Amino acid sequence: MGMTITEKILAKAAGKESVGAGELVDAKIDIIMCHDVTTPPAISMLVEKGIDKVFDRAKIVVTPDHFQPAKDVKSAELHKRLDEWARRHDIKYYYKLGRAGVCHALLPEQGHIRPGEVIVGGDSHTCTYGAFAAFSTGIGSTDLAAAIATGELWFKAPASIKLVLNGSPAPGVYSKDVILAVIARIGVDGALYKALEFAGSTLSEMSMEARMTMTNMAIEAGAKNGIIGFDDITKQYLDEHLKDKKDYTIFESDSDAEYERIEEFDCSTMEPMVALPHLPSGGVPVSQCSGGAMDQAYIGSCTNGRIEDLRVAAKILEGKEAAIRTIVVPATPSIWKQAKDEGLFDIFYSAGCVIAAPTCGACLGGFMGVLAAGEKCISTTNRNFVGRMGHPESEVYLASPATAAASAVEGKITDPRKYI
């Protein structure tokens, strides 16, 4: 019996020949991602237990992002605790304000993600990095503390579900629409405890940025990790971004690897999708919900705050005025600069958008665009749970940057294809 890519990476990390689904392993961790919400409690735990140490200062990447720049006194205290710890241990990769960005956009961009490695982070969307043929999963603060101190964690190797994506998406249909269609079909717990392995010919038409949008949302189907095999597109991105450590190991699933099930999707027939409140699985084709009045559009986040996303939104907003509050949040400082240099800020400014500094911000109802009771927001983010972006009686509609931008122009849910 062959192994899946997920099983192979876990086997290597556990120093074993092979690993099968359901097997418990102690895996060595290659990279730990730390941010401002879940890491400060982990630090406190380590200090309290008398094990305030880091296993390898060069394998921990720190960036405040959720409430950054500090939105209030309490979040400033969190940042202070994070900062003191990072400096005390001389953490090698510490992105401070001005260099800090939304973690899941920042780490790949700064060359910290390598194929074949095991990456954990104190954030559920850490599954994003699986786009680089790595095993990557989100953990809580106690796991984070254990990983920081020991460089190891226990895992139950997940069974895999293979998603085969075929066909070319039509103009106006993006990887966000694909993943919303996937989650609409399999459900928010359709991949609970499982690996979601993406495959199929559509991938060869998707950039790494587009792929990250999909693996980012693997958790929205309940998955432990999302993963995509290595190819020329992966290689090219890594050639451009890897810095200090440029070697990596490529694993791929065996042809006789065991899958719990295989789901096929024809991306050529997909429409732009909108996930209606209050679950990410609430995706429907935009034609079924267009016309719904919105109060705000939000373009940003670890799902869709990358340069390609901003370009798509800018193209639609160019020469037009947004009819509703529209907030654009480039996910990292270098995306921010690139957007500025490409003239996208001029377009957003002329359209009446707010351009924010990199932050998770309003995606999780933190700040920079929180919703009042009864308000509705079309958002390029990943969750539309009750109260996610603000008041429990507000509503979030998940969509691609194109759909969010088109909806911003008209002030209501709008099919972006008329603007493309």
Q: Please give the residue ranges that form the binding site for another protein (CB under 8 A).
A: 24, 37-38, 40-41, 44-46, 49, 51, 66-67, 71-72, 74-75, 77-78, 122-124, 126, 138-143, 145-146, 149-150, 154, 188-189, 192-193, 222, 224, 279, 364-366, 370, 383, 385-388, 392
Q: Name the minimum Å distance from CB 75 to another protein.
A: 4
Of 141 and 334, which CB lies nearer to another protein in the complex structure?
A: 141
Q: Name the minimum Å distance from CB 370 to another protein.
A: 8
Q: Name the minimum Å distance from CB 159 to another protein.
A: 13
Q: Name the minimum Å distance from CB 384 to another protein.
A: 10
Of 140 and 171, which CB lies nearer to another protein in the complex structure?
A: 140
DSSP state of 371: B
DSSP per-residue string spanning 336-350: HHHHHHTTHHHHHHH
Q: Name the minimum Å distance from CB 363 to another protein.
A: 9
DSSP per-residue string spanning 148-216: HHHSEEEEEPPPEEEEEEESPPPTT--HHHHHHHHHHHH-TTTTTT-EEEEESGGGGG--HHHHHHHHH
d(CA 94, CA 100): 8
Q: Name the minimum Å distance from CB 349 to another protein.
A: 29
d(CA 125, CA 280): 14
Of 24 and 293, which CB lies nearer to another protein in the complex structure?
A: 24
Of 1 and 373, which CB lies nearer to another protein in the complex structure?
A: 373
Q: Cα–Cα distances in Å, from 237 out to 129, 165, 316?
A: 13, 21, 26
Of 283 and 365, which CB lies nearer to another protein in the complex structure?
A: 365
Cα–chain-centroid distance for residue 404? 18
Of 140 and 343, which CB lies nearer to another protein in the complex structure?
A: 140
d(CA 61, CA 10): 21
Q: Name the minimum Å distance from CB 318 to another protein.
A: 33
Q: Name the minimum Å distance from CB 343 to another protein.
A: 34
Q: Which of 64, 113, 107, 112 is nearest to 85 (CA)?
A: 64
Of 142 and 168, which CB lies nearer to another protein in the complex structure?
A: 142
CA 396-398-400 angle, to 5 degrees, is 145
Those residues whose C-beta lies under 8 Å from the C-beta of residue 275, and which sit 6 or more positions away, are: 180, 183, 184, 281, 282, 283, 284, 384, 397, 398, 399
Of 4 and 381, which CB lies nearer to another protein in the complex structure?
A: 381
Of 170 and 284, which CB lies nearer to another protein in the complex structure?
A: 284
Q: Name the minimum Å distance from CB 168 to another protein.
A: 33
Residue by residue, what is the 3-state secondary structure of 99-146? CCCCHHHHHHHCCCCCCCCEEEECCHHHHHHHHHCCEEEECCHHHHHH
Those residues whose C-beta lies under 8 Å from the C-beta of residue 48, and which sit 6 or more positions away, are: none
List the structure tokens of 248. Answer: 């990596």
